[in-house]
Amino acid sequence: MNDTEKKISAWLSGPYDEETKNEIRRLETENPAELKEAFYTDLDFGTGGLRGIMGVGPNRMNKYTVGAATQGLANYIKKSFPNNQNSVAIAYDCRNRSDYFAAVAADVLSSNGIKVFLFDELRPTPELSFAVRQLECSAGIVITASHNPKEYNGYKVYWNDGGQLVAPHDNNVIAEVRAISNPEQIQFIRNSELVVSIGADIDKIYLDAISTVCLSADAVKAHSNMGIVYTPLHGTGVKLVPEALSRFGFRNLINVPEQDINDGNFPTVDSPNPEEKAALKMAIAKAEATGAELILATDPDADRVGVGVRNSNGEYILLNGNQTAAILVYYTLTRLTETGKMPENPMMVKTIVTTDLLSDIAENFGVKMHEVLTGFKYIAEIIRLKEGKETFVGGGEESYGYLGADFVRDKDAVMTSCMIAEAAAWAASKGTTMLGLLDEIYTKFEFYTEHLISLTRKGIAGKQEIADMMKQFRTQAPETIAQMKVIAVYDYKSGEKLHKSTSKLEKTGLPESDVLQFLLEDGSKITVRPSGTEPKIKFYFSVKCKLYSSEAQSEANNKLKQLTAFFSNN
């Protein structure tokens, strides 16, 4: 028997429930290829937790993989805080079986003597981060697969600072999870006395905190009737985003009723991803019908937000994540300066694949910009490490995630939706628009244009293909890309930057990560990395030009096309 067959046999003969065993037998007969995918490897508990297709087997999200993850986490919590009455907050999103997996996690934790604060129904991921800090928990769990297709679910772990696991806790928890080799090691029997329901009480405190982020109350009051179309894309945002916007003072909120319905099958969209124009089709139609000024769409767990604005021709344009972040950084720093509220030692944080325009803006205002690896957990880590020394005033990533205040330690689409609407009201008070603000930013600083290509490679063969692609880029790095010299290569796996002209090696100063960056002679940048949450390899392209004009913009966009074509053809 090979390893896959041994695992199947172990599940059929081991201490697994009959429902699971019957499903394995069904797959043996009806879909042996799917059975192999479910058993050929273990669903890895990575640095962010679990994410995978739901189903039976060690490579799927189910009672036993979630149970093992939670037992490992419980073991680590008890080792880390041996004399505490430990507690964990748990939230979940709209996905199929999210409530069930949350209940399984509550069962295991309480059975291990750990108090559980379990949300009474679905809630946004950022509220879970907030709750961990508010309730002084040892850790937090949220059941979500963000914007993945409907067959997926996931399990994200937060530490006591409210941020996702980082070193050393990530690797230590992983080690504890991998030590669970048998379901008999998992304590599944709930201690109901240790499971406490939370909900509206935390909602109020969280929304009260978000209200303090407001920087332009007068502009909001003057433009309180600005039309805002909002869709939660069937997800958790419907619970709090409309209420948060209302608290800020916006009175003309227009919903998309079909998408207000919480449904893990996401019936009105192919993918509940606010990065994709197709996901906002119904919201755009609603905006066209009502003449709304702004479109906001949050993903299922409401940590990321997509934005649509109206141009001078009355057409709706979707901003990308870099453009939204640039507007928010510029707006925040401008208003903090104008109102005299800029704190001492202000700082912001962005990821290495996010536009460098954010750094340009921050530098102009005398604000330090920290740069971290891809993943909001690294932004949260910087906030924690700099507490008492520097004051966080904002930060984000190109994938539509942003955070404007440090009482949450993850990207927060509830807070960000309010900030975007407020920036639009402020722009209107200045006689301009969101697109007008972008023009102002590009004119004052530099024009940047970016693009992302994601290649999906599923299954056993896909995983190997992605690994082979990264190996090839690493061992046979191109000397030129689209006829432009590569002047430096940053390899975050080895932790080194190579300057081609001098052959000088420097340290990146960041943790090890399977990421490559190529810097070209004209300042363009290309980043290649496997996704940490999906079976994809991602290519990020950034081109800039100093003078903002229609000709320069056209030239930059053409150069961007050349760069993307180079990688598409190779």
In the chain the domains, ranked by start, together with CATH numbers, are 41-198 (3.40.120.10), 206-444 (3.40.120.10), 449-569 (3.30.310)
522 with 510: CB under 8 angstroms?
Answer: no
- H-type alpha helices, 341-409: 357-364, 376-385
- H-type alpha helices, 264-375: 281-290, 321-338, 357-364
pLDDT computed for residue 47 by the predictor: 64
Residues with catalytic function: 146
Q: Whole-angstrom Cα distance, residue 219 to residue 422?
A: 8
DSSP 3-state of 48: coil
429 with 223: CB under 8 angstroms?
Answer: yes
Q: What is the pTM of this model?
A: 0.94
Max CA distance (Å), the chain: 73
DSSP 3-state of 15: coil
- H-type alpha helices, 407-531: 413-429, 434-444, 459-475
Spell out the residues 6+ positions from residue 18 whose beta carbon is closer than 8 angstroms to its own.
Answer: none
Beta bridge partners, 117, equal 89, 196
pLDDT computed for residue 505 by the predictor: 84
Q: Which two tokens stand for residue 408?
A: 């949450």
541 with 563: CB under 8 angstroms?
Answer: yes
C-alpha 329, offset from chain centre: 18
Q: Which residue has the tokens 């996901």?
A: 279
Give me the DSSP letters along 200-268: HHHHHHHHHHHHTT-S-HHHHHHTTT--EEEE-TTSGGGGTHHHHHHHHT---EEE-HHHHS--TT-TT
Between CA 118 and CA 128, with CA 123 as vertex, the angle to 5 degrees is 65
Q: How many CA atoms lie within 13 A of 240 on its CB side?
A: 35
548-556 long-range contacts, CB within 8 A, separation 24+: 548/439, 548/442, 548/443, 548/446, 548/447, 552/447, 553/447, 553/449, 556/447, 556/449
Q: Which two tokens stand for residue 422?
A: 């407020």
Q: Which of 155, 190, 188 is nearest to 67 (CA)?
A: 188
pLDDT tens string, the chain, 570 residues long: the values are 689 999 999 999 999 999 999 999 999 999 999 999 999 999 887 767 899 999 999 999 999 999 999 999 999 999 999 988 999 999 999 999 999 999 999 999 999 999 999 999 999 999 999 999 999 999 999 999 988 899 999 999 999 999 999 999 999 999 999 999 999 999 999 999 999 999 999 999 999 999 999 999 999 999 999 999 999 999 999 999 999 999 999 999 999 999 999 999 999 999 999 999 999 999 999 999 999 999 999 999 999 999 999 999 999 999 999 999 999 999 999 999 999 999 999 999 999 999 999 999 999 999 999 999 999 999 999 999 999 999 999 999 999 999 999 999 999 999 999 999 999 999 999 999 999 999 999 999 989 999 898 888 888 788 889 999 999 989 888 889 888 899 999 999 999 988 877 777 889 889 889 999 999 998 899 999 998 777 889 999 999 887 777 787 888 888 888 888 887 766
Q: Which of 453, 445, 396, 436 is nearest to 544 (CA)?
A: 445
Q: Whole-angstrom Cα distance, residue 539 to residue 452?
A: 6
Phi then psi dihedrals of residue 229, to 5 deg: -85, 130
Q: Which of 338, 367, 552, 348 is nearest to 442 (CA)?
A: 552
